[in-house]
Chains A and B, each alone.
Chain A
């Protein structure tokens, strides 16, 4: 079955610096790759996603890149702010309809001011 590995498990950056989180997946049939942000005590919320027919997608300070050949995708956060501090999860879809997601173990991002 699908396996999603996420690195690093923790990441500390200085406010204003960039942060990059990387994920690899094993199932070449996966075609949907979302990223979720979970603040302390809250539910995971989708921040950005990408489909396999696209190599990069941006939304303000957040971008996701996908390399289908190498089976990895990454989250890039520029100009980090203290409110970016949270746990970030990547996921990859499996199954015929793409609704079933397999999640990575998560990355704790700390932005120091």
Chain B
């Protein structure tokens, strides 16, 4: 089954404790992206990747890192999480010949 998966689905952590949210897709998509969703603000892009080893900042990249060592994986790293990073995070992927983005199930992160 074609899908985008994220782990963990829920995470409660404390300020400053490094964490990684994994994202994997099995559709051989070149493009992958991370979004955060906050009430009234829609989906804002954090980082995106056009292909392996090619990443770039989105609209709200501060406090986040990403890597794209393999085509299927695009982890999101919070080196020192802060309470303002409490949010719902979505990973998405798409192929070059179709702009349709497929979203993962979401990760709800709470930083206390």
**A residues lining the B interface (CB < 8 Å):** 1, 6, 9, 32, 34, 42-46, 49, 89, 91, 93, 97-106
Contact = CB atoms under 8 A, between A and B. Distances in A.
20 contacts: A1-B59, A9-B40, A34-B101, A43-B103, A43-B104, A44-B43, A44-B90, A46-B101, A49-B100, A89-B43, A97-B96, A98-B99, A99-B48, A99-B94, A99-B96, A101-B99, A102-B45, A103-B42, A105-B41, A106-B42
B99 A43 contact: no
A81 to B, nearest CB: 23
A32 B41 contact: no
Interface residues of B, number: 23
B99 A32 contact: yes
A105 B96 contact: no
Contact of A43 (B58, B59, B106): B106
A99 B96 CA distance: 7
A42 B40 CA distance: 17
